[in-house]
Amino acid sequence: MVGGKRSRNFDEDDGYRDFRPRMPKRQRIPPVVQLCKEMMPDIRTLGESIKAFEEDIKFLSEAIANEFGNEEYFQEALFKTINAVVVEQPHKQPAIALLTMVVNAANPVAGKSILNYIFDKMQGWCTDSINSDLEVTSSETGPWNKIKLLLRFLSLLSPMVEEDELILLYQRLFDLSVNLNNLHSEKRNPLSEAIYCNTLLNIPYLFYFSRGNESLRGKVAELISNVESSYVVKHTNLSLIKEYNTNSPYESVQWVSAVLPNVKRVLANDMQQLFELFPDYSGMMKPQPGNQGFNDPLNLPSAEQLESFSGLDRGIGSIDGMWKVPRYSYRVYLPNQVGEFETVVPFTTYGGMLFEDIIIDIVESMEFNRKEVAKQVVTLDLFFKPGIFTEPGQSIAQLIALHEENPIITTYKIEDLAIEKILSMIFKLPTVSHPFAYFYTLLVEICQNSPKAIAPVFGRAFRYFFNSLDGLDLELKLRYLDWFSIQMSNFNFSWKWNEWEEESIKYHDTFYSPKVTFMRNLIRKELRLTSSRADVEESLTDEFKSYTDSSFVPRSDLVNYYQSFFKDFQVDPNFLKDNTMYFTQACFPFNELVQDVINYFHKQPLDRNVSELLTIFEEIQKTYGGIIVDFNKFVVTILLQALTFSGNRSLSHANKYIGDSQNDLAEIFTKLEIDQDSKERWIVEAIIRYWNNNSQNGYLIVDTCKNFELVSAKSILNFSFLEDRGRNWGLVDATSIESTFRTLTELSLRRDASVETFVFLFERLSEIASQTVKELGTAPDAAVIVPEDSGDITKLELSWKYESCLGFIKSILRKYADEYATSIDQLNALLKEKVSHEKTKEIVANWLSELQQL
Amino acid sequence: MSLAEFDDIHYEHSTSRLDVPSNYLMKKARRNPNGLDELRKSMRSATIYVGNLSFYTSEEQIYELFSKSGTIKRIIMGLDRFKFTPCGFCFVIYTTPEEALNAVKYLSEMKLDDRNISLDLDPGFEDGRQFGRGKSGGQVSDELRFEFDASRGGFTVPLVDRIGTNHTHNFGARRVRDTYIPGQDQEEVPEDEDEEPDNYVPGE
């Protein structure tokens, strides 16, 4: 052999330039996989570029028509991709339908396969709808929502499908909804409403590509008149799920009552409204033989089979679940706030309802990629006829000017529309479909993509909610607070605080004012979200500087608390400092002994014996017992404050110290011979007072104590709703309210939990409400109304307190309906016993009667 | 190596998922014989890794943000292994794996203390992992960083080792192999260090 080229050692040959690729050899992927990798993303993004749309349709359809039938892999990938776009991005359905039909013209086998794949998917969901073992992922919207979207796609394909087969699908779904509705003549059937609304909403799509089809029009008209005469719309009014307790800024519209009039209107007048909504793609359409059919008839479950599923409360999909309670449209951007015009397409038009439906579909079904959702929802207008919306990013000022100049010009803003619908999901009662984090960060994402256009839209929402705070549901106030603070922390805490100064000046000193409470809680929350206090402080105007004092109780109360331990000894307020333990201050008579307690906790658990602690306390009692009012209380407080102080570096530290000392504490507590309730109350109080400057930490450490069974859930609630000279922190302080919900939620997640704690809170709140209404002196049959612009602050405070208390009752009844529903008789009895005010009794009794429907 | 289901091309969705292992995790798994197992574990561990934190961010702040996507069982702050101070990362352990995946989906790249935090799945916390693995005790990534970052300890690589002021030739390599170890090469510092102008301009 000559030289052996192959055996040449490249590494040692210094003069040799090495051209070997540095990358390891790439695995070659099969050409069909490569093709799919390139083609499927194009299908997913079809229509996003209007300019390229026509070409995309042409190239993609040619490729599909040619490639179809060659490789199984390609077909699978294509089917799955089409299905994914149809159910996840419904606004792209017309584009996909157009593509399918152009393919169908060139390759009818391919067309028929796509059609039947979608039909089979629909059949699959019909079967799944009565599968009680169906497991779903977080992005699942539910079988009935999927059926809606697949039916919509099939309707779009009307030119290529046998008309009668399509109409038959509608007919059968309507029949099913009527049958379900008639199962009980009085009671509302959630599934029936869902099918009825979903199916009606799809009808106009039959005409998307069949605008002039007279015979179809005739059949649809008959279909609609049949369903109109046979479907009885049931009006339900559940006050527990109302977003506003009082003074709702708008009249909410129920889906089930609005859908039929909307559809009829859009089809009237030769479908003029419809053609203003849907773009005309007829130029790209290819002639269709129109004779494709489904391989099998649809096998739809019967009303009887579905009855046990028809409550839609089994958690088999986010959007299906929304029908569990009557579905309303939710409004944020009302006309008149800015000018005499709407910026969101009204829900009482087909377009408005459809946009809401599509946005909710996108947001719910693509929750696994909030970035994509953020992009799609604000570019929705590209998929509808141009001219429905104003130019993106137009300011309200510009709109007002334009509107004055030309009153018939459109004032609908796509940003307003998208954000209003997302907010409607955040502010959905009784439950939210995903963790709040999703919606909050989705909104942050949208704002980050185009801050200039979106920030003012958020600003208007913030103002709207602020102005309607007085009547807003308690849970929604918390969600508003959360959203606002997250948004602020992502955008440098900048907010025009001067707008709210007036409110603060007026009611700064009040305890229960909803607006002042909100601002106070907001600023404290902002402070908890940053390690740079200055960022928050600098964003505030002078009026609000005092709000950065995050004390849970005022300083004077704190002094009184520490003074209450002693007789013949004066607590020096100057030595009450944040993050230190008062009892170890140099001025304190036996600070060294308290320091010994701390030192004890600093020792490794194995190196210490609880007798050391007992000796210290004996010493204290012997020498200083004379100045201590209640020695037991003092011991409990010292122990817990010493542990809290030792663990003040972080929650984990606190957790560790308390966990390590769990047994020591138990041993000492048994020796003290004190009743459980007082002991637990002292424990909670010791911790909350230690963390007076950061009650969130305090409450989280109390949670730790609960986990180690040092305190019960009930003692935490009992402490939170203690009343002190008319002040009740549990009703106003966000950290306390959050702790209450956290505690109850944790209890409700335990399967075997008794409902005692829930009943206790109901009782406590009823007492507070009753006491407050007594102090107000409201007539027994009159509702408490917050006086507007009253100079009588005491009266104002009392009526605010009454409203927060009632709002709290409403929230816990709704949120923990399952728990409360088991003891309705007991609750009614308590209500009778604790509340004498007739009107209050009536309101709460009505809520109790609604519990079964949640 | 091939990473089975993690290497598959999916057509079930119309867009990518955010709750998948990051490229970093994938690369690491490819080099590791047990990589596939690790990846699978990370989908079920209920643990997430949070990076790019400011050294000043507290556990309570992390709680405030991360509790919005689930119930937190434990937060483990990443510490400098010599100084025991936070060094810019942490682990958050949720009660269920779904909550951890939710956090990755919903909270990645959110701002905390004005920094975009990075989130990744994690196969599960083990003792020892709370410490920085860099030579100086902090995170390795900080030792490869040349830019000034006030909330992550300023310059981690001292003046002399930074590109542009270095006397040894490294031909413009962005990566210096010998990272700085405090106290070890003090004597090598040229005497005229103080006079040496800092001609490194971030971003240039």
Domain holding A457: CATH number?
Answer: 1.25.40.180
A423 and A522: one domain? no
Q: How far is B185 from chain A (nearest CA, A)?
A: 34
Interface of B with A (CB under 8 A): 9, 11-19, 54, 56-61, 63-65, 68-71, 74-77, 98-99, 101-103, 105-107, 110-114
Q: Which of A822, A701, A844 is nearest to A767 (CA)?
A: A844
Compute CA distances A514 → A244, A468, A518, A734, B171, whole Å. 13, 10, 6, 12, 64
* Chain B interface test: which of A27, A528, A530 (most B C-beta within 10 Å): A530
A729 and A772: one domain? yes
Whether residues A369 and B17 touch (CB distance < 8 A) is answered with: yes
Whether residues B111 and A700 touch (CB distance < 8 A) is answered with: no
Whether residues A369 and B15 touch (CB distance < 8 A) is answered with: yes
Are A94 and A383 contacting, i.e. CB atoms less than 8 angstroms apart?
yes
Q: Is B173 exposed, middle or buried (0-12, 13-18, 19+ CB in 10 A)?
A: exposed
A546 and A435: one domain? no
User: Running DSSP on this structure, what letter comes out for residue A543?
Assistant: G
A573 and A612: one domain? yes
Chain B nearest-CA residue for A78: B11
Cβ-based contacts of A441 with chain B (< 8 Å): 106-107, 110
Domain extent for A746: 720-854
Domain end call among A711, A730, A751: A711
- Residue B149 confidence class, pLDDT cut points 50, 70, 90: confident
Instruction: Determine the pLDDT at residue B194.
Output: 36
Whether residues B14 and A84 touch (CB distance < 8 A) is answered with: yes
Do the domain assignments include residue A297?
no
Q: How far apart are CA A854 and CA A464, in angstroms?
A: 28
**Which residue among A40, A44, A435 places its CB closest to the CB of B106?**
A435
CB within 8 Å of A356: residues ≥ 6 apart: A329, A347, A421, A424
**Which residue among B16, B58, B69 places its CB closest to the CB of A531?**
B58
Cβ-based contacts of B98 with chain A (< 8 Å): 138
Chain A nearest-CA residue for B61: A529
Q: How far is B201 from chain A (nearest CA, A)?
A: 26
Q: How far apart are CA A802 and CA A512, in angstroms?
A: 9
A174 and A261: one domain? yes
> What is the interface size between A and B, counted as CB pairs within 8 Å?
118
Are A421 and A363 contacting, i.e. CB atoms less than 8 angstroms apart?
yes
Do the domain assignments include residue A644?
yes
Residue type for B79, please?
A: L
pLDDT in tens, B163-203: 554 445 445 455 444 444 454 443 333 333 333 333 444 44
Instruction: Determine the pLDDT at residue B4.
Output: 78
Q: Which of A36, A80, A29, A84 is nearest to A60 (CA)?
A: A36
Instruction: Determine the pLDDT at residue A361.
Output: 98
* Chain B interface test: which of A364, A489, A695 (most B C-beta within 10 Å): A489
User: Running DSSP on this structure, what letter comes out for residue A568?
Assistant: S
A451 and A515: one domain? no
Are B164 and B146 contacting, i.e. CB atoms less than 8 angstroms apart?
no
Interface confidence, given as ipTM, is 0.89
Q: Which two tokens stand for residue B59?
A: 């556990």
Instruction: Determine the pLDDT at residue A19.
Output: 55
- Residue B162 confidence class, pLDDT cut points 50, 70, 90: low
A493 and A447: one domain? no
Whether residues A369 and B103 touch (CB distance < 8 A) is answered with: no
Chain A nearest-CA residue for B70: A435
Mean pLDDT by 10 residues, chain A (854 residues): 46 51 65 94 95 96 95 96 98 97 96 97 96 89 97 97 95 97 93 98 97 94 96 92 90 94 96 95 92 93 95 90 93 80 94 98 97 97 95 90 90 96 95 93 94 93 94 96 92 91 93 96 94 92 94 95 93 89 91 95 92 94 93 96 94 93 93 92 97 95 95 96 95 97 92 86 97 94 85 92 96 95 95 95 96 84
Phi then psi for residue A472, to 5 deg, are: -65, 140
Instruction: Determine the pLDDT at residue A437.
Output: 94
- According to DSSP, the β-strands at B86-94 and B72-79 are antiparallel
Whether residues A88 and B114 touch (CB distance < 8 A) is answered with: no
Measured at the alpha carbon of residue A70, what is the angle toward residues A67 and A76, in degrees to the nearest 5? 85
Q: How far is B19 from chain A (nearest CA, A)?
A: 7
Instruction: Determine the pLDDT at residue B199.
Output: 41
> For residue B192, how many other CB atoms are within 10 A of its CB?
7
Residue spans in chain B of domains classed CATH 3.30.70.330:
45-162
Q: Which of A785, A187, A831, A835 is nearest to A845 (CA)?
A: A831
Mean pLDDT, to the nearest integer, of B59-68? 92
Q: Which two tokens stand for residue A536?
A: 């928050």
Q: How far is A796 from chain B (nearest CA, A)?
A: 33
Q: How far is B196 from chain A (nearest CA, A)?
A: 33
DSSP A107-160: -HHHHHHHHHHHHHHHHHHHHHTT-TT----TT---HHHHHHHHHHHHHHTGGG
The mean pLDDT of chain A is 93
Whether residues A441 and B57 touch (CB distance < 8 A) is answered with: no
A350 and A464: one domain? yes
Q: How far is B160 from chain A (nearest CA, A)?
A: 31
Instruction: Determine the pLDDT at residue A62.
Output: 96
The answer on pLDDT for B158 being more than 70 is no
**Which residue among B60, B102, B110 places its CB closest to the CB of A490?**
B110
A589 and A682: one domain? yes
**Which residue among B14, B74, B111 places its CB closest to the CB of A85?**
B14
Whether residues B113 and A652 touch (CB distance < 8 A) is answered with: no
**Which residue among A435, A529, A531 places its CB closest to the CB of B54?**
A531
Instruction: Determine the pLDDT at residue B190.
Output: 37
Q: How far is A404 from chain B (nearest CA, A)?
A: 41
Share of chain A above pLDDT 90, in %: 85
Chain centre to alpha carbon of residue A617: 50
Do the domain assignments include residue A38?
no
Compute CA distances A62 → A42, A103, A560, whole Å. 14, 7, 83
Number of domains in chain A: 5
**Which residue among A89, A367, A532 places its CB closest to the CB of B14?**
A89
Instruction: Determine the pLDDT at residue A280.
Output: 94
**Which residue among A366, A372, A652 places its CB closest to the CB of B75?**
A652
Instruction: Determine the pLDDT at residue B143.
Output: 81
Give the CA dihedral A469, A474, A479, A480, nearest 10 degrees: 10
Whether residues B60 and A528 touch (CB distance < 8 A) is answered with: yes
Chain A nearest-CA residue for B106: A438
DSSP A186-238: SS--HHHHHHHHHHHHHGGGGGSS-TT-HHHHHHHHHHHHHHHHHPPPPP---
Whether residues B111 and A525 touch (CB distance < 8 A) is answered with: no
Residue in the structure block whose two tokens are 């308590």? A830
What architecture (CATH level 2) is domain B45-162?
Answer: 2-Layer Sandwich (3.30)
CB within 8 Å of B150: residues ≥ 6 apart: none
Do the domain assignments include residue A91?
no
A493 and A518: one domain? yes
Phi then psi for residue A813, to 5 deg, are: -60, -40
A567 and A682: one domain? yes
Q: How far is A510 from chain B (nearest CA, A)?
A: 27
Cβ-based contacts of B12 with chain A (< 8 Å): 80, 84
Q: Is B201 exposed, middle or buried (0-12, 13-18, 19+ CB in 10 A)?
A: exposed
Are B136 and B180 contacting, i.e. CB atoms less than 8 angstroms apart?
yes
Q: Which helix (H) or strand (E) holds A281?
A: none
Cβ-based contacts of B113 with chain A (< 8 Å): 530-532
Cβ-based contacts of B73 with chain A (< 8 Å): none
**Which residue among A138, A437, A529 places its CB closest to the CB of B61?**
A529
